Amino acid sequence: MRFQGRISNWNDDKGFGFVEPNGGGKRAFVHIKAFNRRTCRPVNGEIITYELVHQKNNRYVAQNIKFTRDTTKSANYIKVKNRSRLGTIFTLSFCVGLIALILTGKISALIVGAYCVMSALTFITYAIDKSAAKNGRWRTPEKTLHIFALLGGWPGAFFAQNILRHKSIKNEFRRVFWATVFLNLVGIFWLYSEKGISFMNAIF
């Protein structure tokens, strides 16, 4: 059975302290070697999960200790990975669909060319923005990234987010990004509808 509690009386020089269980219970001894993954040193007030071991001298010792923040990071990583898998299937299906429409003559090659050019430009823009973020240089506004996606660069934006690991976790940005994808697809479908074709013929 696992418990959750806060570290107290931590002596970093000696590498031990105690854990006070949340909700009351047995106070247990904590040693640095009992942590499964020592991503950083424990501090007082740190929340951990652990297994409680009752020793012969009536002392309680915490074993198999994990930082709750590590558990949260792992859960977030799994969530992002699952979203990425679904997004990859969707994006690749879209690309295959475009190729099929060209081969059947249902869509202009210029449309596919525009998607390729905008996707390449958007991918490069993401790469430049990530480099700027690392080196403290001027950043590309998020609005610009969304406009590029809306204009057909969203496949490149999606792969940039996942290959470069840039803008892939920020939920607000991701929501706006997928909204641009939706609007772009609606625009393409409308463009090839009767109204859209009539509109284009009237312009050109």
Q: Using pLDDT thresholds of 50, 70 and 90, give the confidence band for residue 158.
A: very high
- Which one has a higher pLDDT value, 114 or 198? 114
Domains, the chain, in order of start with CATH, read: 2-70 (2.40.50.140), 108-203 (no CATH)
Query: What is the structure's pLDDT at 77?
Result: 55
Phi, psi of 11 (to 5 degrees): -110, 100
Residue among 104, 195, 120 at smallest CA distance from 152: 120
Mean pLDDT value of segment 149-176: 91
Mean pLDDT value of segment 88-100: 92
Q: Using pLDDT thresholds of 50, 70 and 90, give the confidence band for residue 70.
A: low
Mean pLDDT value of segment 189-202: 81
Q: Using pLDDT thresholds of 50, 70 and 90, give the confidence band for residue 92.
A: very high
CA-based torsion, 186, 192, 194, 196: positive or negative: positive
Rounded Cα distance between 48 and 5, Å, is: 6
pTM for the model:
0.61
Token reading at 156? 């490149």
